Amino acid sequence: MSQHQRIDIFFVMGHSFACKTNDSGRKNRGFCKKMRMKKFITTPIYYVNDVPHIGHAYCTLAADTLARYWRQKLGKENVFFLTGTDENSQKTVDAAAAAGEEVMPYLDAIAARWKETWEEIGIDFDDFIRTTEERHHETVHEILTTIHGKGDIYKGKYEGLYCTGCEAFLKASEVDENGHCPHHKKAPNRVEEDNYFFRLSKYQDQLLELFEKNPKLLEPEKRRNEVLSFIKSGLEDISISRENAEFGIPLPWDKSHKIYVWFDALINYRSACPSEEFWDNTLHLLGKDITRFHCVIWPAMLMSAGISTPAEEYAHGFFTVDGEKMSKSLGNVISPLDLAMKYGNDGVRLGLLSSFEFGNDGDFSQEQFHDLYNKKLAGGIGNLFNRVTVLIHKFLEGKKPAWDPMNSEKGEWVTMAKERQAVENDMALFHQFMEDKSLRAAIEEMFHEMNKANLLLNEKEPWKLFKVDPEVATQVFARLLLHLETIAKMSETLLPEAAPKMWKMIGDGEKVGEAEILFQRAE
Ligand code: MSP
């Protein structure tokens, strides 16, 4: 680089640009080249002892929605969205035995079911990793060998309680009054065996420092505080191998031990990450129940292995269904596929993501969802698109009222110019919500746009106005189309199946398209 030039890297709403600047400090426009940032978005990998329910779909849909947002912003090639299945668990062996099947064929069948479910409900993942795959085993061995070589793994004796439901060791203080696991209501197994341990305690100070340096290591704040106080309460070394486990990845240096399922599962993110550029821009999405694994053990493992820690982690809340915890015994477990049969994929996505804010706990009320679908999708956005296109066909023979900046000083077009500004502000707010992962607020912003359009229709009644003042009525149609375009842009992330139909109705040339039904009313 000549001494007269320097490279400036600057960021504009998530994009980075590299520009050479000459002596006078003016940007050399010809050289200014966009270097797009990358995003690696992940969901937890799901246990295959069960089939997907809407609790799992919740995180997967949120991740897919964010991936769609970032693809729109950074370009498809700069976003990599990963999901998959966690298969090296005792739960899996038990579930296969209960089904009377061999482990591997059972795993293949259930993993395929997870993958197909996501495809069927419109999840556009870039990769689906299974922890029984060779590529994962290789990465696990690489990382464990490095950690071992660093002296962070030692052999010891473990005596204590293990809950297979949680796939976690429980402290005596963590069991309930009956001596049961508080989550699974079952007595944990008492184990006494030779295990290998990871020196988690060694990383306590480095973890605190990491949290201080990177506020995004875990959001929202209440989750971060929980994890911080857990670290401050003192970290103990953790057992990372099981001597008697039937299934799992053997330790590279001692094949008689299988690696503890969480220690292998977390590594899936690394096994499937396509490049270091993506790795540096990792966003892990997870439930609030698994923050200690992701924000304490995982960064410590990475530090030990000399790999950079995740840029961002976000823990969402848990939801109940109609006020009750979803459970097989209560018979209230809902399959995302059943819900999609009735309300369509966009309906499920919107219903789940709008019931409560992403970082909070909440309730998914089926009755409220039904109402929301009929009022805001079928009767709201769907009806609005239908009405506007039908009216433009009727009064303007389908011809799109063109916006001409030369008109911005004249009559009603002044209002149009202001409206364009307002819509830009709404769009900027929408972007901000997506970047903050405030998915419910982003959905509200889309409905806000719909309300504005409905208000305009009801106030101006262009079907009456047209007979009195066709020019003003035409401008009202132009303003309505502006709102429809904004809703369609937002829908590319929030209602991805309806979005292409919306654009077809808005039309791309001189004319609007034919009206069609976006959302069927649900009975
Ligand atoms: N296999 C581990 C994750 C390993 S990631 C390296 C696991 N699997 S899980 O299938 O039990 O849960 C996966 C995710 O589903 C968790 O993030 C959990 O929070 C989420 N949910 C399961 N039920 C849920 C609700 N009812 N509500 C919201 N999320 C829920 O943990």
Higher pLDDT, 23 or 230: 230
Question: Highest mean pLDDT: which of 103-117, 175-189, 317-331?
Answer: 103-117
Provide the pLDDT for residue 168.
Answer: 82
166 is catalytic: yes
Q: Which of 31-35, 94-98, 267-271, 386-390 has the lowest mean pLDDT?
A: 31-35
Provide the pLDDT for residue 66.
Answer: 98
Work out the pLDDT band at 410, boundaries 50, 70, 90: low
Nearest-CA residue for atom 5 of ligand 1:
44
Ligand 1, residues 286, 313, 324, 363: which to mutate, most atoms within 8 A of Cβ?
A: 286
Work out the pLDDT band at 327, boundaries 50, 70, 90: confident
Q: Within 362-515, where are the H helices?
A: 366-372, 383-396, 413-435, 439-460, 462-468, 470-494, 499-506
If you average pLDDT over residues 307-318, what whole number do you get? Answer: 97
Work out the pLDDT band at 222, boundaries 50, 70, 90: very high
If you average pLDDT over residues 302-307, what whole number do you get? Answer: 98
Provide the pLDDT for residue 230.
Answer: 96
Residue 207 Cα distances to 27, 67, 230, angstroms: 41, 28, 11
Helix (H, G, I), strand (E, B) or coil at 522: coil
Residue 390 has pLDDT above 60, yes or no: yes
Residue where the block lists tokens 């997967």: 60
If you average pLDDT over residues 254-278, what whole number do you get? Answer: 97
Residue 192 has pLDDT above 90, yes or no: no
356 lines ligand 1 (CB under 6 A): no
If you average pLDDT over residues 81-87, what whole number do you get? Answer: 98
Q: CA angle 14-19-23, nearest 5°?
A: 140
- Of 114, 123, 17, the closest CA to residue 68 belongs to 123
Beta bridge partners of 129: 84
Helix (H, G, I), strand (E, B) or coil at 20: strand
Work out the pLDDT band at 409, boundaries 50, 70, 90: low
Ligand 1, residues 50, 58, 356: which to mutate, most atoms within 8 A of Cβ?
A: 58
Above pLDDT 70, what percent of the chain? 91
Provide the pLDDT for residue 33.
Answer: 42
Higher pLDDT, 172 or 236: 236
- Of 261, 265, 240, 336, the closest CA to residue 84 belongs to 265
Residue 4 has pLDDT above 80, yes or no: no
273 is catalytic: no
53 is catalytic: yes
Mean pLDDT of the chain: 90
Provide the pLDDT for residue 398.
Answer: 97
**Nearest atom of ligand 1 to the alpha carbon of 56:** 15
Provide the pLDDT for residue 17.
Answer: 34
Q: Which of 61-75, 162-176, 307-321, 339-353 has the lowest mean pLDDT?
A: 162-176
Q: Which of 18-27, 85-94, 195-204 has the lowest mean pLDDT?
A: 18-27
Provide the pLDDT for residue 26.
Answer: 35
Provide the pLDDT for residue 329.
Answer: 77
Higher pLDDT, 228 or 508: 228
Q: CA angle 35-36-37, nearest 5°?
A: 120
416 lines ligand 1 (CB under 6 A): no
59 lines ligand 1 (CB under 6 A): yes
56 is catalytic: yes
Provide the pLDDT for residue 20.
Answer: 36
Residue 411 has pLDDT above 80, yes or no: no
